[in-house]
């Protein structure tokens, strides 16, 4: 099944944003996920054509990066970091609690299609470990109880705000934002907090500064 003319127009809009068509491949794949809930063969073919690459090259990108799905994702994506720091501070326990609550394992979607659960190696938020994301928005310093509570609230249709970002929407909404970042939400929340700036604040209090390089001293 080929893509619609509306979808093709949106893909062409993405291509026009970059100096080389192939540079738009990853945003285009995110757009296809926002529309189809996964990266389909038809989506890959359309992205490859407009990006000026072969379907094999587009498939390689879609299969290499774990954010791209080759099967339908749930309305909400729950990602739990289980890498070293998050794991030591309780990430594995958070994942196990969510797995039990949702009745699914890694990279699986609940039968009702509402949640997809994923174990993630790192989410680059070690300061707030253990951390999980909901539709790629951060939920910091979670515990098994607080993580399950987030899922419960989403299931009830309640408003859930991410720790340092906007109100949680849906996974497909976030996928569209990854394709078209100018969604008007960049100013929502507090992306940097006191915990993240603790080292810098302490250095300033103690008058500490990085040493200059030989080139800077000239």
- For 110-154, what is each residue's pLDDT tens digit? 999 999 999 999 999 999 999 999 999 999 999 999 999 999 999
Q: Could you tell me the sign of the dihedral formed by the alpha carbons of 34, 36, 37, 39, in that order?
A: negative
Same domain? 174 vs 80: yes
Q: What is the pLDDT of residues 150-193, one digit of tens each?
A: 999 999 999 999 998 999 999 999 999 999 999 999 889 888 88
At 86 the three-state DSSP class reads: helix
Domain extent for 60 = 5-64
CATH number for the domain spanning 156: value is 3.40.30.10
Same domain? 48 vs 141: no
Q: Is residue 93 part of a domain?
A: yes
Which residues lie closer than 8 Å to 210 by C-beta, 6 or more apart?
A: none
Where b means 16+ CB within 10 Å and e means fewer, 72-110 reads ebbbbbbbbbbbeebbebbbbbbbebbbebbebeeebbb
* pTM score, whole prediction: 0.89
Same domain? 60 vs 100: no
Q: How many structural domains comprise the chain?
A: 2
- C-alpha torsion 94→96→98→100, nearest 10: -150
Q: What is the pLDDT of residues 66-97, one digit of tens each?
A: 999 999 999 999 999 999 999 999 999 999 99
């Amino acid at each position: 099944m080929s893509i619609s003319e509306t979808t093709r127009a949106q893909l062409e809009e993405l291509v026009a944003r970059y100096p080389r068509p192939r540079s738009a491949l990853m945003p285009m794949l995110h757009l296809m996920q926002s529309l189809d809930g996964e990266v389909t063969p038809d989506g890959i073919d359309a992205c490859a054509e407009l990006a000026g690459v072969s379907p094999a090259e587009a498939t390689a990108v879609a299969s290499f990066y774990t954010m791209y799905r080759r099967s339908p994702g749930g309305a909400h994506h729950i990602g739990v970091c289980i890498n070293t720091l998050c794991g030591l501070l309780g990430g594995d326990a958070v994942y196990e609690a969510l797995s039990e609550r949702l009745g699914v394992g890694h990279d699986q979607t609940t039968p009702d299609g509402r949640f997809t659960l994923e174990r993630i190696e790192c989410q680059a938020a070690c300061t707030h470990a253990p951390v999980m994301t909901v539709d790629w928005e951060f939920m910091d310093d979670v515990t098994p109880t607080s993580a399950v509570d987030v899922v419960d609230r989403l299931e009830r249709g309640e408003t859930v705000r991410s720790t340092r970002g906007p109100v949680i929407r849906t996974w497909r909404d976030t996928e569209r934002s990854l394709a078209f970042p100018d969604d008007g939400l960049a100013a929502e929340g507090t992306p940097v907090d006191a915990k993240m700036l603790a080292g810098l604040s302490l250095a300033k209090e103690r008058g500490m500064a990085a040493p200059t390089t030989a080139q800077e001293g000239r």
